[in-house]
Amino acid sequence: MRVLITGGAGFIGCNLAAHHLERGNDVILVDNLSRPRTQHNLNWLRCRADHAGRSDKISFHQGDVRDFDGLRRIFELTGPDLVVHLASQVAVTKSVLNPREDFEINALGTFNVLEAIRAQARPPAMIYASTNKVYGGMEDVAVVLDGARYRYRDFPNGISEDRPVDPKSPYGCSKCAGDQYVRDYARIYGLRTVVFRQSTIYGPHQFGIEDQGWLAWLMIAVVTHRPITIYGDGRQVRDMLHVDDLIAAYDAAWEHMDAVAGQVFNIGGGMANTLTIWSEAGPLLESLAGHAIPVTYADWRPGDQRVFVSDNRKAMQMLGWAPKVGVREGARQLWDWVVANRELFA
C-alpha cells in the first residue's frame, strides 16, 4: 500500500506516517515545511525509518498544495493508493488577519488535491481532515452551566452530522468549502472520498499554539514558564481525541472505503473524553507539574463554542470505530513528551 500524506511533516501527519512505516507501507510525504519545527518531525521520521531498516519506504517532496502542477507531478510520480489530506492553515485568528492566504491554502489547496486525484489513470482514495468549526458558534443550541463546566441541554450524545454547517470565520468557511468539495467529488466524479470533521486532536509531536492545539500549548507554556491567558471563563468543554485513536479511524475508513465513500463523519473523543479549557484542565496540569499555575482571563473570542462534543455513533456503526485512549492517560503521554523535548520550545 502506498499512502500519500499532505502536511506529512505536521503533528498528525508525522504520527500517521510513523504508523504506516511500522506496517511496512510506502509513505509519501508532501509538505512545504512552512510551519515551525516541521523539519524536526521530518528528521524524526527519517531516523525512525533508518533504525527500522525501512528508509526505502519513505519519500519526501517539498511542495505546496497551492501549486497544482507541482502537486499533479508528485501524484503521477508516486502513484498512491490513499491520500490523507492534512495540509492546512489551522488558526482562526490568522484566517481573520489574512483571509486570502487562508482561502488559498484550505479551499484552493483542497480543490487542487481533488483535481490531482481526478487526473490520475487510477485515482487513489482520499480522506480529508475537516473540522468541527464548520458548524460555527451554534448559538441556537441550548447550553447550561453544570458546576464547573458547560453541557448541552438537549444533545446527550453530542453533535451529529445532521447538524447544518454554518461557519463563522474565514477559517471555518475555507475548511467548509474543502469539506463540501470532497463530499461532492464522490457524488459527481465517483471518487472514493471521506470527510472527517475532527474535534480536538492531541498527542506527541504537537507543537501547539494559543489558537490551535490548546492542550499542547498549555503544557508547553507551563514547562517553559510562559504566561497563560484563558479566554472566556475556562468552563468551555471540548471532546479530546488522542492522535492514535484518530489514526485508527483513518485505518477504519480505508478498510471500509468502498462502503463509505462520499460520507461525512464527526470524529472526536465523544462524551466519554471531555475536558474543560481550564476549570478541569488547570487542576490536571497542576497535578502533572507539581505546582500552582497562574493565569489571567480575557474576553470571550468571537465564535468560541461553549461546548463542542462529537456524536460518534455514525462512525461506530459504519466504521466499527470508537476511541480507546482516555483523556487523562493521553494527557499524561503528551505531558511526558513535552517535558522530554522541552529544548524544542525554547
**Residue 121 · residue 43 · CB < 8 Å:** no
Which parts of 81-238 fold into alpha helices (H)?
Answer: 92-97, 99-103, 109-118, 170-189, 214-223
Within a domain: residue 332?
yes
In a domain, 285, yes or no: yes
Residue 17 lies in a domain: no
CATH number for the domain that contains residue 297: 3.40.50.720
- pTM of the predicted protein model: 0.97
Per-residue pLDDT of the chain (346 residues; tens, 9 = 90+): 999 999 999 999 999 999 999 999 999 999 999 988 899 999 999 999 999 999 999 999 999 999 999 999 999 999 999 999 999 999 888 999 999 999 999 999 999 999 999 999 999 999 999 999 999 989 999 999 999 999 999 999 999 999 999 999 999 999 999 999 999 999 999 999 999 999 999 999 999 988 889 999 999 999 999 999 999 999 999 999 999 999 999 999 999 999 999 999 999 999 999 999 999 999 999 999 999 999 999 999 877 889 999 999 999 999 999 999 999 999 999 999 999 999 999 8
Q: Is residue 79 part of a domain?
A: no
- Asked if residue 67 is part of any domain, the answer here is no
Report the pLDDT value the prediction gives residue 35, as an integer from 0 to 100: 86
Q: What range does the domain containing 295 cover?
A: 88-345
The residues assigned a catalytic role are 171
How much is the pLDDT for 305? 87
Q: Classify residue 60: in a domain, yes or no.
A: no
Whether residue 268 is contained in a domain is answered as yes
In Å, how far are 104, 130, 209, 327 from 64, measured between CA atoms?
11, 18, 22, 34
The C-alpha cell 441550548 sits at: 142
Half-sphere exposure of 124 (CA within 13 A, CB side): 24
Q: Does residue 106 sit within a domain? A: yes
Domain count, the chain: 1
Q: What is the CA radius of gyration of the chain?
A: 19
Helices (H) then strands (E): counts for the chain? 13, 15
Beta strands 143-146 and 149-152 are: antiparallel
Of the candidates 38, 330, 47, the one whose C-alpha atom is nearest the C-alpha of residue 18 is 47
What pLDDT does residue 346 have? 83
